[in-house]
Structure formats: C-alpha cells, structure tokens
Structure 1
Amino acid sequence: MSDVPLLGAEEEFHVVDLETRRAAPEVDALLTQLDGTEFAPELQRSLVETNTPVCSTLDELRGHIRRLRSRLEAVAEPLGLGVVAAGTVPLAEMDGDAISAGARYEKMQHEYQMLVREQHICGAQVHVDVPDRDLAVQVVRRVAPYLPILLAISASSPYWNGRDSGYASFRSMVWSRWPTAGPPAHVETAADYDALVSDLIASGTISDPGMVYFDIRPSAHLPTVELRVCDACPDVEDVVLIAGLFRALVGKARADAEEGLPLPEVRHELLRAASWRAARSGLEGDLVDLVGPALVAPPLVVGQLVDQLRPQLEELGDWEQVLELSQATLSRGSAAARQRRVFGRRGELTDVVDVLIANTQGRTLRTEPPATVPSTPQLLLGYHKTDDERAAYDEAVSAGGTVLPHYGWMFRTLDRLGPRGMRAAQAALRTEQHARGVTFRVGDSDTDRLFPLDLVPRIVTSEDWEILTAGLAQRVRALEAFLRDLYGERRIVADGIVPAQVVDDAPGWSRLGKLVPADAVRIAVAGIDLVRDRADHWFVLEDNLRVPSGVGYALISRRLIRSAMPDLEPPAGVVGLEAVPGMLRSALLSATEPDAPGHDEVALLSAGPSDSAYFEHNLLADRMGVPLVTPRDLQVTEDGVYLVSTGARRRLSALYRRIDEKELLTATGADMRPIGRALSNAVARGNVALLNALGNGVADDKLVYAYVPEMIRYYLGEDVLLDNVPTYPCVDPDRREEVLDRLAELVIKPVDGYGGQGIVIGPLADRAELAEVAEKVRADPASWVAQDLVHLSTHPTFAGDHLEPRAVDLRAFVLQSQVGDRTAVDVAPAALSRVAPAGSMIVNSSRGGGAKDTWVLR
C-alpha cells in the first residue's frame, strides 16, 4: 500500500429518559438541534446515528468520536435525555410502533413486522477505503474469518427487555433474524455481488442495496468496505481498537489479493458458529479458532491477530497504539461483563443504564452496594444441619445463617437464579465441559470422566491473599534451600535438625537429585495445599513439588463458570488469570541461557493420553504456546535433547516435566531405547533444564513435612508465617506411643500415600479400622504419620436444589524463576479450591471430591 487508506465510523446510540432510564422515542427533539451531515435518525425513534468525517489516523478518529458523543449529550441532557452507546439498552418497550418517519421505514415496518418493533439495537460500523469494487469483494471474503474476534471485542449487549439474555452480544442474536444478515456471500467479483443484490431485490426480500446486512460488505453508497458485525461500544477506545484492527485486516487482504493468494476456504456454517460463540461469551469465554476448529482463549486469539497484523500496523503507524489498546481491552474484559458486574452490586438495571451513560462520555461512575446484606436467600434455608457442620467455620455464611458481607452481591445473583436457574446452569456447565473435553481419570483402568466443578465460586479476600502470598513464598524458598542442601552438603542433617533416617528412607529420595546442577532452580512450580479452621488462621496441609496438577483446571474453571452462569460476573476487584500461562512460560525460560541460540525452544513433557491430567497438559501447552511432547517424541544425544516428531529436528533448551519420575525413567524415546538415564545425564551436563527437577519428592514427603518449620528457621532465619498442621512422625518412639494412645482423635496417613488413599480419620473410624491401623503403625512405624484433626472450613456448594456446606481446601501455585544470580518467587493468582463430597473431609478427586472457581480479590 503506497497511501494510507482513509477510514471513518458510524455509531448508533440509544436515547433514554434520565428519570426512568428507559428507551425514549424522542430523537426528533435532538435532531432539530443537530447538524444533519453528522447526525441522522435510525429505524426506531429511540435511536440516533453519528457519522465521523473521513480520517487518516486513529487519533483523528478518536477525536471526532468523542466530539460527536459530547455534542449529543450537550443537546440531550437539557431535554432530560441521556445517550447510551451499547448494543442494547436494558430497559425498552418492545411492543410499540415508534418508527421514524419516511416511506422506507414505513415499508420496512409493513414487511418485517416484529423484527422492526424489536429493532432496539445499536451497532458500530467502520468504513475503510477500497475504491476498486472487484478488490472490495475480494477483501470482504478475506477479512470475514476474523470478524468473530472483532465482535467479541465489541460485545456490549447482555440485557434485553429487562432480563439477562445469557449472551454478551444479544444484539447479534436480534440482528441475525434479518434475511440478509450474517457472514458475507461466497462471490468473487463485483458483478457477482451486484447480481446477488439484484436477485434479492427481485425476490421481494429486500427493497434496496442498503438492506444487505452482511457482517461485512462493499458499501452501498461509498467506495469503501464496511464492517457491520460489531455492537456499539460504551468505551471509545474499543471503537478505535476495532477500527485499527479492521483497517490493518483490509490492508492485509488487499496485499494478499494483489499477490494472487487463494481465497480462504471457510465453511459458511462454521463462520456463523464462530460468530455465535463470540456473541455468546464475548471476551469471557473461549473463541473458535477456525483452523482446526478448536476453542481458544481470547487473549491468545487477539494476541495472535495483533502479531499477525504487525507489518500492516507498522506501515500505518498504528502498531504501538493497537498493541496497547488490545492489552487494555483484554485486561478489563468486555463491556457486557462490566455491565453484569454493575448489576451484581445491587440487582438494579437502572444502575447499568447510569454507568452506560457515563461510560459513553468517558466518565467513570461507581455504584455502591447496599449497606446491608439481604435476609437469608431461599437457597440457604436449612443450610447448617449437623453439629459437625456447625463446628466448622463457614467462609460465606455466618452461624446464624446470614451471608457474610463480601459474599452479599454473589448471593443476590444466586437467589435471583433460584434452584431452577442453578440446575439449568449446571446442565450448561456439563455441556461446556463435554465441548472442551475437560476430563480427568482416577486410575489406569478408569475411563475419562468430567472434571467435577461446583457452580458457586469461592472468594479469597485481599487481606487473606497477602498473608498467604508471604507465607507461601517463604515456605518454597526454604524447601528449595533444603533440596539443594540435601543433595549437596547435607548440613541440615549434620546439624541434627532433620534426622538422617527421615530423609534417607523417604520414598521420594532419588540419587538422580544429585545430578541437578548446583545453581539450578529445582522447584519451578510448587502446589501447596492449604486449609483453614477459622477466619484468621490458615494451615499448610501438604507440599507438592514433583508434578503438581491443578493450575490448568483453575484456568478453565473460570471460563466454564462464566459460560454457564454469565450473569454471575466476577467483580472488578477479582484478579484475572490471563497472565498465568505467561508466568509459567517465563519460569521455564528462566532456566535457559537467554543469549544462546534456540534458548526459547521449550516444551511440556507429558506421559500422553494415559495421564490422568492429560487435558491439563494440553491446555497449558496451548496457553503457553509451547509444544506438548512425550518421551517417544524425544531423542537424547551427547550434545542435547531433540524434538524429532514434528518433521523438523529441534534442540530443546528446557522441559516442563509433567510426567512421574518413575514413569519417565522407564519410558522409551524416539529411538525405542530407555530415555530416563540419558535425559538425567543431559541435565547434569547442562544440555537441557528439567523442571521440576528429579528427586524433588523427598521434600514433599509426609514425614519430612513435619520438619518444614525447622527448615524455615534454619535456612532463612525467619519466623514461620504459615503453620503446619500439628504432625507426629510415628518413627519417633515417643510420638508413636502418643499416636497409638490417641488414635481415635487423630488423622493417620501413610507416608507414601497419595490422592487421599490409606487415610484413616480417627473420629470417623470404627474399632476394627482403628485396630487395623494400630497394627500397621507398630509393624512399620516409619511408613506412618499422624496429625491433629482440623475442622476444615466449609463453603456453600450446590446440591441439586439447595446449597449445603462442604469442606474445602486451597491449592496455591508458587513459581520460581532464575533472575540473574537470585531466585524470584511468585504466587500465581490461579488457585484451585477443592471441595469434599457430602459428609467427608477428603477433597481429592479420586475420592469423589470436586473443585470450585476461586476469586482472589485485589
């Protein structure tokens, strides 16, 4: 492109009564005071359209949009009217006949009946110069596959006729009923396009070319290509972003057409499906990647689009601005989600209208939640039932049955849904899980089953998160020091802090731990399990330092719950999870030499489909943008580790290990020879980084766990910030006698157990079970530990037609990265809450447990 193509925007606005906040058919009163070249009526008399002048830069376009919006408000406000830029306005009369004057509109009302009466929708259209009509038709075909992304960015119409539609862009659903709406026709020349329009007019379906309502089209009256798929946007910056992306897409399409590249072959039905998906969930649910097809997270889709368009954006001078705008939009989410957050505070649609009026002019308006929490919701009647449940601290409901203040807005939404709405949401959740394949497997002989996910999210306050973040970082720093010491000088053993027998007999100790370079980070990802027994007291229950799972399920849980219950929108203060895959990738890359060739050639190493967490492996590899590999994909030589299954032989600098150590050691590589020893030697030579390191299991042993507080004091010289559950190693004779005397009071755990297997909860066990475990402890005391029984906190969990308290724990993920000569520690906000079955305190999925989306407040 030799010249910068010009562009312009048309925006449609709702006119509302400032007193009732309802759509007001008063546009004629506005237009008498407005310049007819920039302002025009629309089909409904509660709508008005603005047209910017032709612009050459995005800054110029932004300036005109703001000027026209400001002018509208200046005229409307003295008349008691407000102006709203959104796909729909929450409160409108759908059965009226307030149609603008004119023969064209009157004919449309006669022909289309209800479609016209319900045309209370507004869009944002962008025009970009393409003077040659044959080229314009080619551009339309080439840009069409990207339109669902632009629709998702613009989604701003969740409310329709006073109710939540369940869509982020319900305007799209209303608009799609017109006979010529949707993806563009499969034509290749202007003559073909004009013939199609003539046939549609001849058929009596439309009366003029302006009624061809394709999502993108050659303009009926200008030498441009016109984008028509988007909702009107409250935020001017979203309009500017869409305009910048669209102009770059048009530029790329023109270049591809002029080079003679073939037209994209995208099935019309699939493009409609992708648009429906974007309308359904906006930026809060996965979008359709048409190559595949597959569901992909919006940050990845939008990021890839911006990167793909970089040459065109740089040529136009738009690169830095569009990149910044795209990142800001992804951070704040769609306008539909923001409206739902406003509604969730008090349950008032008038609040939504007030915020939309303010946002249209670039102002921020905060709505305050009610001063008091409402009486007990219907779903919570009879919530506390047993003495055991009353003894446990409940995180959302007081002992008297009232909702705690920071959960008040959530329960107002749940109460509006009621049991029937919750059951519908549960069915929708299962459908979404099936569509995405969100499954897990308990054992090798088990079949894949849906990951059990509860509808009611758990909130972790900012105060709690601050305490947890400090304590978790401290704990992982001490465990890292312990592993380096244990596989090195063993100072902590020599100084008598940890008995030699404890570590030497630990099931997780491995001689391969000695092969890890001394300065390497051994714990790249730690999964620390926490519980609480009262509002201000958290315990660490268990450390997971080998191949901790769950971070991927935390990521997908947020999207699944948003998709199943779009009206239960997290408040603005909830920390987003979009950055977590990047944090994981950065931790992985930090183990490589940044200046070395191919330092960013990293991969996630999995056992493959047989692994119970294979879904998560796929998800994380996709979100990190790294290949997912199995041992059979790898070849280890004297000079490095190579990925050989992709056609091109690539040397890898680091592997994110998600395969069990024993399984890795017996696995075969691409050459059908055992790969474990060769890979360990490659790690020792510094040819590849393996994270998490082999041998880490010694530090998350249930017996070693008892000594972690001493490790913190020994290595860091600090007071312990997070308590252990009081733990009694049965290998110690004095502790063993105490355990045998108190079996009926304690929880007894096998040292090598996992997934809740082998645990005996003394107060819930009968005499035979206690006698059996006592015999096992006496026979092999080093294989057992005991802990005081902690009454795990409970959280409301949906049980078919009501909410009931279920025990919960929290798995938090701590990441370590090598930064120069120091190790940086970060606690990811993607925590996973696990929930026990009714009547149980064991949360593991293998024992019938489930999970919850966890909202960490800023």
Structure 2
Amino acid sequence: MSDLPLLGVEEEFHVVDLETRRSAPEVDALLSQLDGDEFAPELQRSLVETNTPVCATLDELRENLRRLRGTLEATASPLGLGVVAAGTVPLADMSTDAISAGARYERMQHEYQLLVSEQHICGAQVHVDVPDRDVAVQVTQRVAPYLPTLLAISASSPYWRGRDSGYASFRSMVWSRWPTAGPPGHLETAADYDRMVDELIASGTISDPGMVYFDIRPSAHLPTVELRVCDACPQVDDVVLIAGLFRALVARARADLDAGLPLPAARHELLRAASWRAARSGLEGDLVDLVGPSLVAPEVLIGALVDHLRPQLEEVGDWEQVLELSRAALGRGSAAAAQRRVYGRRGEYVDVVDALLAHTQGRRPSHEPPQTVPAAAELLAAYHPSSFDEAVSAGGTVLPHYGWMFRSLERMGPRGLAAAESALRTEQRARGVTFRVGDGEPDRLFPLDLVPRIVTSEDWSGLTAGLTQRVRALEAFIRDVYAERSIVADGVVPPAVVQDAPGLSRVGRLVPADAVRIAVAGIDLVRDRADHWLVLEDNLRVPSGIGYSVMSRRLIRSVMPDLEPPAGVVGLERVPGMLHSALLSATDVDDPGYDEVALLSAGESDSAYFEHRLLAARMGVPVVTPRQLQVSEDGVYLVGTGARRRLSALYRRIDENVLLSAKGADLRPIGRALVNAVSRGTVAMLNALGNGVADDKLVYAYVPRMVEYYLGEKVLLDNVPTYPCVDPEQRAQVLDRLDELVLKPVDGYGGQGIVIGPHAERAELAAVAEQIRAHPAGWVAQDLVELSTHPTFAEGKLEPRAVDLRAFVLQSRLGGQPHAEVLPAALSRMAPAGSMIVNSSRGGGAKDTWVLR
C-alpha cells in the first residue's frame, strides 16, 4: 500500500445545562448557529455530532478534533450550555421523549419504543478508507478480535441514571440492546454483506442499511470501514490513539488479505464475552486475550497490540506517537476511573460533569481535593494506633493524601468492604494466587489486604537514591569478596564476618569477573516516623515479591472499582519489561539467540511458583526446571519442550543448594555442569551463585562501611542500629540489654528464630542468652524500632497493623558496568495483630503499594 490511508472521526457529545449539569434537549438552538457540514443532530435532542474532515496524519486529526470541540463550546456557552465527550453523563433526564425531528427518528421511536428513550449515550466512530467494499468486509472480519481492546481504552461511562453501574463502559451495555449491535457475523464478501442487510430489512428488524450497528462495518455512505465500538472520549489524545491503532489494524488486515492468510477463527460468543469484559474492566481490570483464551492485564494486551502493529505504524509515521499515547493512556487509566475518583472527593455528580466539561476542552478541572479531611467516622471509630500511623494522625484525622481514599472506603462501609474481601478471595482462587509456608505444607491464598498504602513522591525520591547507592556498594562487596578481599585486608570488615558468612560459596569465585552479580535485589525497609526510613534487611539471592506486587494492583482494582488509584500513581505496566531488559543486558546482542532467556525454578514445589509463572508470562519467557536443561561444552539447552533451544541467560529463582544438587534432563547431577557453563560465559545466571555472602544479618551491620569504602559517599539510608554478638564488647552489652533488643540468628530466614526482647518471656530470654554465649557469631541484636502502622481491614473493621516495605532494585550491565534502578513495584507487608513480624510464613500479609509521581 503505497498511498497513505486517510481517516476521519465522528464524535458524539452530550449537551448539558451549565447551571444544573443535567443533560439538556437544546441541540436545535445549538445547531442553528453551527455549520451543518461538520455538525449534526443525533437521535436524542440532548446529543450533537461532529464530523472531522478527511485527515492524512494523526496530528491533523488532533487539530481538527480540538477545533470542533472548541467551536461547540464557544457556541454553547452563551446559551448557558456545555458539551461533554463521554459515553454517558451521570445526570440525564429520560422521562421525556425528546427525540430529534425527522421521519427516520420518528419511525425508530415507534418501532423500538423504550430502547430509543434510553439512547442518552455517546460514541466515537473512526473511518479509514479502503479501495472497495469487498476489502471492507474482509477487514471487518480480521479486525474484529482486536476491538474489545479499543473499547477498554475508550471506556468513559461508569454512571447511568444517577448511580454507579459497576461498569467502565455502561454505554456499550445500553448499545448492545439494539438487535444488530455487537461483533460482526461471519461474512466474506460485499455480496454476503448486502444479502444480510436485505434479509434484515425484509424481516422488519431494521429499516435501512445505516441501522446495522455492528462494532465494525463497511460504512453505509462512505468508501470506508467504520469503527463503532468505542465510547466518546473526554481526552482528545485517547481518540487519536484509537484512530492510530484502528488505521494500523486496517492496514494489517489488508496485508494479511493480500498474503492470502485465512480469516481468524475466534468464536462469535467469545468475541461478545471479550467485549463484555472490556466494558466491565476498562483499563483497571484484566481483559480477554482471545489466544488461549485467558485473562491478561491491559498493559500486556495493549503493549502486545502496539508491538504487533509496529510495521504498519512505522509505514505511516505513527509508531512513536502511538507508543507514547498508549503508555500515557495506561498511566492515566480509563476515563471511567477518573470520573470515579472525582466523585469520591465529595460524592457529587456535578463535580464529575464539571471535570468532563474541562477534559473535553483539554483543561485541568479547577477543583482540588481539600487539604484536610475528617476521619471516616464509622470505619475509624475504634482505630487507635499506638505508634506513628501513615494514614491517620494522632488526633484521629485522615492525612490529606489519604482523604479521597477514605471517603471511598467510608461509602463502602464495613459491609461493602467485607463483600469486597470475599470477592478478592474468590479472584485469588480463580487465578491461583497462592504461596506455601514450607515443604509439605498446602498452598494458601496469598494474604492480601484491601486498603492500599501510599508512598509520596518525596519519600520515593529519597528511597530511590538510597537504595541504588546501597546495591552498588553490595555489588562491589561481593565482587571483592570473591577476588582480592581488599575490604578485609584494609581492616574495614573483620575477616570472620566474611569467612564465617553462611552464604559464602565456593562457586562464587567461578562467576566471570565482569558479570553483574545482583540483577534483582529485594531491600526491606521500615519507618519509625514520617521522615525516617531505615533498611531492615537485604535480600540478594532469590528475592520474591515483584509478581505479587503487580498482581496485588490488578486484584484490588478488580474487586473495588470505586477505589481507583489517582492519576499521580506510578503504573506497573513497565515492570516486566524493565526486568526483562535487565536480564538481556547480561547477554551479547551480537550472538545468535541472545534473547533466549528463561526463568529457572524448582517448579511446583517452590513456595513462590505462582510468581515465577506470572513474571515469566509477563516477560514472554519460559519457566524451566533443572530437569528440562541439558549442558554441553557450547552452552545450556532447553529440551523436552519441542525444538531444542540454546539459552543465553537464566533468571535464577531457585535456591543455590537445591540447584547444585538437582538433576538435569539426562537424570545426572547438573549443578557442576551449570557452574562450569557460567564460568565459561556460555550462559549468564542472574542472580549469581554465591550472592548470599552479602545478605546475612551480620554482614548487614557493615553495609554503611561498604558505602563509604567502595563509593566514597555519605550513607543515604540508615541501618537499624545493629550489634554483632561476635564482638566481645558488643556481646556483653547485648546480654545486659536482652529485654530491650531484638535478637536475630544470622542465618535466620522468613522471621524464624527472632526474639523480640520487650515481648519475650523470661525463660525465652534465658534460652537465647545461652545460645548467644555458645555461638556468638550466629547472632546479632538490634534496637527495637516501633514500626509504622497502616489501616488494615480485618474481622469487619480497620485496625492498625505494623508494616514494612520491600523495594526492588534492578541492575543492568551498561558499558560493562552495573547500572541500578528501582522498580515502582514495591510490596508492602503487614504483620498480624499484635506482632511486628511481617513475614507471610509468620502470619503476615501484603498490601498494594501506590507510589506517587
């Protein structure tokens, strides 16, 4: 296709009274002052339609959309009217039959009765030119499977007749009542299409070809194929995005037709189901991937669609713009979610209409949330935190950045939250979101709380700098430990700290010198006051939680659609791609198959196997176990899954000792062979074997010294004050203060073995004192930090629970050196009632964490 495919857009708008914010049947007064070539009436007299000129570029389309919207507002405003681009408006009067004049509309009212009265809905239609009607019919069939994704992008109609519908696009639910609405039936030629139209007219179902209301159809009056599935969009950029994707889909369909590829075989029922799911979810819940079929995140489906269409987008110069617009749309979330956020501030529909009026013209709404809000009376009546609480002040007032959230929670009330909690557990079971406490234990639902935690942009900025600094220092330490041990020779770290470290491994020396040792670090943080974060623990072996963080966001959105993250929350759609890029950086792009990466897992026996499968699926890589691997002199191969594939890198999520004793595809031990392959550089393993030397609780005490020694920088994130019992002087102090300190075994895992002195019985303290004297190198003590608390829904009420934060730092190899960056996918963990130990193996749970931009 050498000629640039032209396109145009028809947009429908609600006419509203600026005093009442209700829909107003005043389109005749508006149209009497407008040019009839670009403006037209719709079925209801409270609606008006605009038609752009034919456009060649997306920039030209955007300019015309803005011009027409501006003209509408300039004409409507002196009449006391406004125009809203959205699928529905909350305040619409359906008690009258105010339809536009004309024999066609009158005939429709007589034939379809109440259905006509309900049509207070607005859509956006996109036209793309095609050479003839046979091509148009073929295009409708080939593009139809992708239309639910476009509907999800456009979803802007959560409110219907003064109440929340529970849908992101209720307009599509109303529209689906027409007898000819929905996905197109199976048709292959223009003759097939015309025959179908003739039969529908003969049956009395419709009266003219323009009443075929398929989601996509050959236009009844233009040489185009017409997209009809979308809501009207408040944001012009969303219309431009949809138009760009649709033009590329048409071009792709024409290319497939020219190549003789068969029509897609998606079932009609499944297409309807996918459209329903898109209408229900918008961009805040999972969508249907027809390949499978399966439920996937919008970020995955939209990202895959944009990648799929890259050749067609590049051909017309739309690639960069559509990529940027798609990311921006995912970052904002759906227009439906935005309306719910506005409503949540005061519970007033007029605020929603005001915001829609502003967004339609590209302006920021003037109202802002109040700076202080009263406590949510019912939910917080018995909420009495004993230490610093992150959401509620000591006086019982909800802190400003939590205000809108608590208004939403208060509207739900205890019963609504209990229902959401039940729905959450059902969703978790359906998706298999589980973990296992230990070997031989049954899988359990991952304990997830309903109330998200907010981390402000100021806090996150400080944490980002401190976390990257810390991981850079730990990377330097591991490299040094398995080489010269300069930090020991210079007396900065005692020899025994390294030599007796439980994680010191002989295979650590076999990792190539230029390899990135820490690809993924999980750093646990706590805070004891608003402006003071402390590092509690470093996890550098196989840290878990990224996948649970991503899934937590998805689950909370799906069961509490009213509780949408504000626009300023950093999205998680980029997280799998960032992880994948970090893994690929360990490979040589000049080598064949450099991107053949796999996630290495112990399989179903691993407590975090759900996360392994989730992350692998989001990255588009396989999950493999040692039994699927074969090692030869020239590399590591994945076998037993079809074609034999040479792997360039393994993302290690399996315990080092388990891996070293595992058997490969030939049933012989594979550990030594894998280590040798890593040493030869024929496969990269991330995280590296031997990383455990740097993350036990004794080495932790010396990390601040590492920062100063290796980086020459001032430490940005403090440790919890820590006392190594291997030091005689500090051991004596610890034994004198057992009832004040937290005692931790150096090689403890998952909170096991920890004794909290102020909460311990006398006999328990005596027992730990005996263990410290017998094996002092196996223990450290720390000052007791009163962890901050956060509201958590439990047993029908909100109660303060101690929380920590696991942040994830990625390291990529750039220019031969490690480069650290912090993922926005942080996992907040909360302790059981009355406890300060947050580990899931000790009864703890997790929260969705909203990082503000």
- Which TM-score tier does this pair reach, normalised by the shorter chain? over 0.9
1:153 Cα deviation (Å)?
1.5
1:461 aligns with 2:456: yes
State the match for 2:618 in structure 1. Answer: 623
State the match for 1:543 in structure 2. Answer: 538
State the match for 1:447 in structure 2. Answer: 442
The amino acid of 2:21's aligned partner reads: R
Could you say if the C-alpha distance between residues 429 and 111 of structure 1 is closer, same or farther in structure 2, counting changes exceeding 3 Å?
farther
Q: For structure 1, which segment, 394-403 or 586-595, has the greater mean C-alpha deviation from structure 2 after superposition? A: 586-595
The amino acid of 2:329's aligned partner reads: T
1:184 Cα deviation (Å)?
1.3
Structure 2 Cα separation of the partners of residues 113 and 840 of structure 1: 63
Alpha-carbon displacement from aligned partner over 1:231-261 (angstroms, at most 9, x marks no partner): 1112222222212221222222233234332
Could you say if the C-alpha distance between residues 251 and 471 of structure 1 is closer, same or farther in structure 2, counting changes exceeding 3 Å?
closer
1:717 aligns with 2:724: no
1:857 Cα deviation (Å)?
1.6
1:2 Cα deviation (Å)?
4.8
Structure 2 Cα separation of the partners of residues 500 and 106 of structure 1: 92
1:345 Cα deviation (Å)?
4.0
State the match for 1:768 in structure 2. Answer: 763
State the match for 2:289 in structure 1. Answer: 289
Could you say if the C-alpha distance between residues 323 and 91 of structure 1 is closer, same or farther in structure 2, counting changes exceeding 3 Å?
same
1:343 alignment partner, SS class: helix
Could you say if the C-alpha distance between residues 115 and 451 of structure 1 is closer, same or farther in structure 2, counting changes exceeding 3 Å?
farther
- Answer yes or no: is the 8 Å Cα contact 1:346–1:370 preserved in 2: no
- Answer yes or no: is the 8 Å Cα contact 1:285–1:298 preserved in 2: yes
State the match for 1:819 in structure 2. Answer: 814
State the match for 1:680 in structure 2. Answer: 675
1:791 Cα deviation (Å)?
1.4
Q: For structure 1, which segment, 427-436 or 538-547, has the greater mean C-alpha deviation from structure 2 after superposition? A: 427-436
1:529 aligns with 2:524: yes
Structure 2 Cα separation of the partners of residues 3 and 490 of structure 1: 66
The amino acid of 2:342's aligned partner reads: V
State the match for 2:660 in structure 1. Answer: 665
- Answer yes or no: is the 8 Å Cα contact 2:635–2:682 preserved in 1: yes
2:382 alignment partner, SS class: coil
State the match for 1:362 in structure 2. Answer: 362
Q: For structure 1, which segment, 7-16 or 367-376, has the greater mean C-alpha deviation from structure 2 after superposition? A: 367-376
* Structure-to-structure mapping, 1:386-425, within 5 angstroms: 389-390=385-386, 392-425=387-420
1:808 alignment partner, SS class: strand
Could you say if the C-alpha distance between residues 323 and 137 of structure 1 is closer, same or farther in structure 2, counting changes exceeding 3 Å?
same
Alpha-carbon displacement from aligned partner over 1:707-736 (angstroms, at most 9, x marks no partner): 222222332333322222222223333333
2:105 alignment partner, SS class: helix
Could you say if the C-alpha distance between residues 637 and 79 of structure 1 is closer, same or farther in structure 2, counting changes exceeding 3 Å?
same
The amino acid of 1:348's aligned partner reads: E
1:141 Cα deviation (Å)?
1.4
Could you say if the C-alpha distance between residues 176 and 548 of structure 1 is closer, same or farther in structure 2, counting changes exceeding 3 Å?
same
State the match for 1:511 in structure 2. Answer: 506
Structure 2 Cα separation of the partners of residues 768 and 372 of structure 1: 48
2:63 alignment partner, SS class: helix
2:362 alignment partner, SS class: coil
The amino acid of 2:161's aligned partner reads: N
2:819 alignment partner, SS class: strand
Structure 1 Cα separation of the partners of residues 212 and 49 of structure 2: 18
1:690 aligns with 2:657: no
State the match for 1:324 in structure 2. Answer: 324
2:657 alignment partner, SS class: helix
Q: For structure 1, which segment, 512-521 or 424-433, has the greater mean C-alpha deviation from structure 2 after superposition? A: 424-433
Could you say if the C-alpha distance between residues 16 and 613 of structure 1 is closer, same or farther in structure 2, counting changes exceeding 3 Å?
same
* Structure-to-structure mapping, 1:587-598, within 5 angstroms: 587-598=582-593
1:550 Cα deviation (Å)?
0.5
1:228 alignment partner, SS class: strand
Q: For structure 1, which segment, 189-198 or 395-404, has the greater mean C-alpha deviation from structure 2 after superposition? A: 189-198
Please, what TM-score do these two structures have when normalized by structure 2?
0.96
- Answer yes or no: is the 8 Å Cα contact 2:300–2:573 preserved in 1: no
1:674 alignment partner, SS class: coil
Pairing partner for 1:430 from 425, 432, 439: 425
**Structure 1 spans left out of the alignment, 5+ residues:** none
Q: For structure 1, which segment, 267-276 or 741-750, has the greater mean C-alpha deviation from structure 2 after superposition? A: 741-750
- Answer yes or no: is the 8 Å Cα contact 2:62–2:240 preserved in 1: yes
Q: For structure 1, which segment, 162-171 or 836-845, has the greater mean C-alpha deviation from structure 2 after superposition? A: 162-171
1:658 Cα deviation (Å)?
0.9
State the match for 1:217 in structure 2. Answer: 217
* Structure-to-structure mapping, 1:730-769, within 5 angstroms: 730-769=725-764
- Answer yes or no: is the 8 Å Cα contact 1:16–1:84 preserved in 2: yes
1:163 alignment partner, SS class: coil
**Structure 2 spans left out of the alignment, 5+ residues:** none
1:637 Cα deviation (Å)?
1.5
Q: For structure 1, which segment, 110-119 or 668-677, has the greater mean C-alpha deviation from structure 2 after superposition? A: 110-119
- Answer yes or no: is the 8 Å Cα contact 2:372–2:399 preserved in 1: no
1:298 Cα deviation (Å)?
2.3
State the match for 2:632 in structure 1. Answer: 637
1:692 Cα deviation (Å)?
0.9
1:541 alignment partner, SS class: strand
Please, what TM-score do these two structures have when normalized by structure 1?
0.95
1:281 Cα deviation (Å)?
2.0
Task: Give 4+ residue runs of structure 1 displaced > 6 Å after superposition.
Answer: none
- Answer yes or no: is the 8 Å Cα contact 1:345–1:367 preserved in 2: no
Alpha-carbon displacement from aligned partner over 1:273-296 (angstroms, at most 9, x marks no partner): 211221122223322111111222
Structure 1 Cα separation of the partners of residues 107 and 442 of structure 2: 60
1:487 Cα deviation (Å)?
1.1
Structure 2 Cα separation of the partners of residues 821 and 134 of structure 1: 56
- Answer yes or no: is the 8 Å Cα contact 2:376–2:410 preserved in 1: no
Q: For structure 1, which segment, 427-436 or 565-574, has the greater mean C-alpha deviation from structure 2 after superposition? A: 427-436
Structure 2 Cα separation of the partners of residues 406 and 735 of structure 1: 43
State the match for 2:832 in structure 1. Answer: 837
Alpha-carbon displacement from aligned partner over 1:832-856 (angstroms, at most 9, x marks no partner): 1001111221111112211111111
Structure 1 Cα separation of the partners of residues 114 and 764 of structure 2: 70
Q: For structure 1, which segment, 209-218 or 672-681, has the greater mean C-alpha deviation from structure 2 after superposition? A: 209-218
Identity among equivalent positions (%) equals 82
2:832 alignment partner, SS class: coil
1:313 alignment partner, SS class: helix
Could you say if the C-alpha distance between residues 115 and 431 of structure 1 is closer, same or farther in structure 2, counting changes exceeding 3 Å?
farther
State the match for 1:15 in structure 2. Answer: 15
State the match for 1:66 in structure 2. Answer: 66
Q: CA RMSD in A?
A: 2.1
Alpha-carbon displacement from aligned partner over 1:213-240 (angstroms, at most 9, x marks no partner): 2211222333332211001112222222
The amino acid of 1:655's aligned partner reads: L
- Answer yes or no: is the 8 Å Cα contact 1:528–1:811 preserved in 2: yes
Alpha-carbon displacement from aligned partner over 1:492-524 (angstroms, at most 9, x marks no partner): 222333222222222211011111122222111
- Answer yes or no: is the 8 Å Cα contact 1:531–1:540 preserved in 2: yes
State the match for 1:102 in structure 2. Answer: 102
The amino acid of 2:92's aligned partner reads: A
Structure 2 Cα separation of the partners of residues 528 and 56 of structure 1: 51
- Answer yes or no: is the 8 Å Cα contact 1:142–1:264 preserved in 2: yes
The amino acid of 1:148's aligned partner reads: P
Structure 1 Cα separation of the partners of residues 74 and 531 of structure 2: 52
Q: For structure 1, which segment, 161-170 or 148-157, has the greater mean C-alpha deviation from structure 2 after superposition? A: 161-170
The amino acid of 1:570's aligned partner reads: P
- Answer yes or no: is the 8 Å Cα contact 1:729–1:736 preserved in 2: yes
1:30 Cα deviation (Å)?
0.8
1:561 Cα deviation (Å)?
1.4
State the match for 1:135 in structure 2. Answer: 135
1:797 alignment partner, SS class: strand
Could you say if the C-alpha distance between residues 177 and 427 of structure 1 is closer, same or farther in structure 2, counting changes exceeding 3 Å?
farther
Could you say if the C-alpha distance between residues 686 and 236 of structure 1 is closer, same or farther in structure 2, counting changes exceeding 3 Å?
same
State the match for 2:772 in structure 1. Answer: 777
- Answer yes or no: is the 8 Å Cα contact 1:818–1:824 preserved in 2: yes
* Structure-to-structure mapping, 1:232-247, within 5 angstroms: 232-247=232-247
- Answer yes or no: is the 8 Å Cα contact 1:377–1:411 preserved in 2: no
State the match for 2:852 in structure 1. Answer: 857
2:379 alignment partner, SS class: helix
Structure 2 Cα separation of the partners of residues 23 and 424 of structure 1: 34
State the match for 1:581 in structure 2. Answer: 576
Structure 2 Cα separation of the partners of residues 538 and 23 of structure 1: 51
1:607 Cα deviation (Å)?
1.6
Structure 1 Cα separation of the partners of residues 728 and 55 of structure 2: 83
